[in-house]
Amino acid sequence: MNHVEDHITAYIHGEFSDEMRQKISNHLIDCASCQGIFKELKQTQNTLNLIEERVPSSVFSMMVMSKVLDLQAAEAEVDWVLEELEEMKDSPQSWAATFLNSQFPWYLVATVMLLAGIFFMHKQLDSDHRISETVVTINETLPSEMLSNLSPNVLPSIVPEPLESDEVKAMLEELGIDSNFEEELGELIEVNDREKIVDETFHYIFSEKNNKKSERFQVNNRKHIQLVMTEKEEKNKNQAAVNRHVPVQEFFKGMQPPVERLSLPANNVQGQNLKYWLYSQFNGDGSVGKGSSYHLTLNTMISTLILKRRYLNIPFTEASHYSEGDKVLLEQELIQSKIELATTYLKKISAKKGLGKNLYQHAQLTYFLCLLVAEGQNELESSLIEALDFLIGQQNLDGGWSKKFRLRKHQAFSNSNALVTGWAVLAMNEAKRVQSLKNKKNIPPSILKSHSFLNRIVDPRNGQCGFTTRGDGQHVPLCTVMATMARFSMKKSSQLKKTIKFTGDWVDAGIEHEKLTFPSQTDYDFIWFSKLFFKYLGDEEIWHQSTDILIPKLKEKLPKSCWGSLPKISRKLYLELITS
């Protein structure tokens, strides 16, 4: 056999048939020069085999699948545009019919403009451009490209004017791209194929979206959590016997009510003040406080709940034990009248087109409405049914809820938000408990659908939520608490243990509040959510621990502006509801 040097690589890679392999190996034994080459190449291959295999990050497939959902949503929107145009074409009176009959590919214009719209919206939102990728700059010229390609006369006012070169330059500088501007531009001009533009835009929208801010946020705070956790574990080791908080209900079991509890309305100045303050906040029509209709409604609902839970529930028999029965009775009549007044206001509200300005408000108000109905305000049942129907009608295809109201059937499929979804699921779970709503058939399937969404947004590494949803990266702890409550109430959720641990860590970290800075506007939400959370978990101990530390801090903040956009009255009411 001749020398086999040329075959050696293929031999090492196992390419030949058995017969050929045998021949080559026979030759290698005999021929020293070929053997030398073989040894060297084999050694090279062995070195190459040492290169480590990369394991994809655990969220990889999840990220891809979430983008697939985004793609589906966008495709559905394009379909919708086409359908609408078809419909317009069919009706002879339509103004568009004349245009559509004139051979011009209007549907294409509409599609491309829609994509441009999505792109611009996206571009404004996304400040985290990647530096090394000129995709960013390619897309900057897209609108003008589209215009010149399609038709110069088509609605020039809608498509934004292309940026001045100075502006682009400044942008490039900001992004850290120091190369010559003209050089960059040279490559942009070559992108003039229409299909390619659509393709690139699609591509840009759905592949460049990385929620980096949220990642950074999580990484930073995860370190804090770890720190807090280790410190806490050490502390716990030292304190074997911690004074355990006894849940209130158990404490009262089988014994005379202690003085502290019943004397609350009589002796506790703060409680007394709150009640009279509440009375003073009632408006003539039964609403409470001031502000937009959302605030008025929320205030009224919370006030009613506070009145019912805090002041109405003191049984007469217990009160007479302190010979203050008459006073209490009178007091109760007054409270009852206030509650009735509030109910008349709430009854007027129609939920057919949604409560509040957005779905977050709607879902939240629906939740409170459920609580009220569950506590016996049966007059509100019809509004509750309307609110629930509206809520279910607003559910996205992926099972979540977006923040914005969806006015048309096909709009906004995929901006599902963990917070809104959490509120919605809580509201529906609460509604399931209301006896008279048990026959409502559209609630369980809706909850089931949201189940898939809520499971999808869990990061399997540590159980945090809100990673893949848009726009709520800032509120990871809130999203997690909210989504976990929702998932917990559904019982059959995956990764639940991890999520609960993550949430617990956050609350622990919240207890050591000094070390963490929550987004200040959401402090009260966080506490309120975690309160609910532990109610669901049935773990009151940790809640009381956290309340003792956090509530005074919140009270400090009450008069300041850092309590978000809620008016002062709502904030105070919120806090009272939390502490009650």
Partner 1 sequence: MNFTAPRTINRGMELTDIQLMYLVKDGDDAAFESLLQRHQNKLINFFYRLCWNSALAEDMAQETFLKIYVAREGYEVKSKFTTYLYRIGRNLWIDHVRKITRRPKSVSLNSVSYEEMKFSDTIAYEDHGNERFEQVDEKMKNVMHAVDKLPLLQRELFAMVNVEGMKYKDIGSILDIPVGTVKTRMHTMMKKLRADLA
Residues near partner 1, by CB under 8 A: 6-10, 12-13, 15, 40-41, 44-45, 47-57, 60-61, 63-65, 67-68, 71, 132-135, 180, 182-183, 186-187, 190, 202-203, 206-207
Nearer to partner 1 by Cβ, of 71 and 551: the residue is 71
Q: Which of 194, 183, 171, 214 is nearest to 63 (CA)?
A: 214
Nearer to partner 1 by Cβ, of 467 and 534: the residue is 467
Nearer to partner 1 by Cβ, of 45 and 267: the residue is 45
Minimum distance of partner 1 from residue 187's CB (angstroms):
7
Nearer to partner 1 by Cβ, of 122 and 224: the residue is 122
Minimum distance of partner 1 from residue 552's CB (angstroms):
44
Nearer to partner 1 by Cβ, of 137 and 499: the residue is 137
Minimum distance of partner 1 from residue 47's CB (angstroms):
6
Nearer to partner 1 by Cβ, of 7 and 295: the residue is 7
Minimum distance of partner 1 from residue 458's CB (angstroms):
16
Contact call for residues 486 and 417 (beta carbons, < 8 A): no
DSSP three-state, residue 125: helix
282 φ/ψ angles, rounded to the nearest 5 degrees: -70, 130
Nearer to partner 1 by Cβ, of 71 and 85: the residue is 71
Nearer to partner 1 by Cβ, of 178 and 556: the residue is 178
Contact call for residues 526 and 510 (beta carbons, < 8 A): yes
Nearer to partner 1 by Cβ, of 455 and 547: the residue is 455
Distances from the Cα of 406 to the Cαs of 292, 350, 443, 444, in angstroms? 21, 18, 19, 22
Nearer to partner 1 by Cβ, of 43 and 517: the residue is 43
Partner residues linked to 282 by β-bridges: 288
Q: Can you read off the two tokens belonging to residue 550? A: 């956090």
Q: Classify the phi-psi angles of 545: left when phi > 0, otherwise alpha if psi is within -120 to 50, otherwise beta.
A: alpha
Q: Which of 21, 47, 3 is nearest to 12 (CA)?
A: 21
Nearer to partner 1 by Cβ, of 172 and 262: the residue is 172
Kindly report the number of other CB atoms within 10 A of residue 290's CB atom: 14
Question: What is the sign, positive or negative, of the torsion defined by CA atoms of 219, 225, 226, 228?
Answer: positive
Which residues are within 8 A (CB) of 482 and not within 5 positions of it... i.e. 6 or more apart? 418, 419, 421, 422, 423, 465, 529
The DSSP call for residue 527 is: H
Q: Residue 82: what residue type?
A: L
H helix or E strand, kind and range, residue 227: helix 212-238
Minimum distance of partner 1 from residue 62's CB (angstroms):
10
Nearer to partner 1 by Cβ, of 71 and 516: the residue is 71
Partner residues linked to 288 by β-bridges: 282
Contact call for residues 494 and 446 (beta carbons, < 8 A): no
Minimum distance of partner 1 from residue 54's CB (angstroms):
5
Q: Rounded to an integer, what distance in angstroms lies between the CA atom of residue 353 and that of residue 389?
A: 10
> Which burial class, exposed, middle or buried, applies to 415 when counting CB atoms under 10 A from its CB (0-12, 13-18, 19+)?
buried
Minimum distance of partner 1 from residue 217's CB (angstroms):
18
- Helix (H), strand (E), coil (C) string for 296-329: HHHHHHHHHHHHHHHHHCCCHHHHHCCCCHHHHH
CA dihedral of 506, 509, 510, 512, whole degrees rounded to 10: 170
Q: Residue 188: what residue type?
A: L
Minimum distance of partner 1 from residue 219's CB (angstroms):
14
Unique residue bearing structure tokens 């050696």? 8
Minimum distance of partner 1 from residue 108's CB (angstroms):
18
Minimum distance of partner 1 from residue 72's CB (angstroms):
8
Q: Which of 391, 403, 394 is nearest to 360 (CA)?
A: 403
Nearer to partner 1 by Cβ, of 114 and 154: the residue is 114
Minimum distance of partner 1 from residue 284's CB (angstroms):
55
Q: Can you read off the two tokens belonging to residue 383? A: 């509004």
Q: Which of 24, 45, 47 is nearest to 34 (CA)?
A: 24
Minimum distance of partner 1 from residue 37's CB (angstroms):
9
DSSP three-state, residue 282: strand
Unique residue bearing structure tokens 């020398």? 3
Minimum distance of partner 1 from residue 113's CB (angstroms):
20
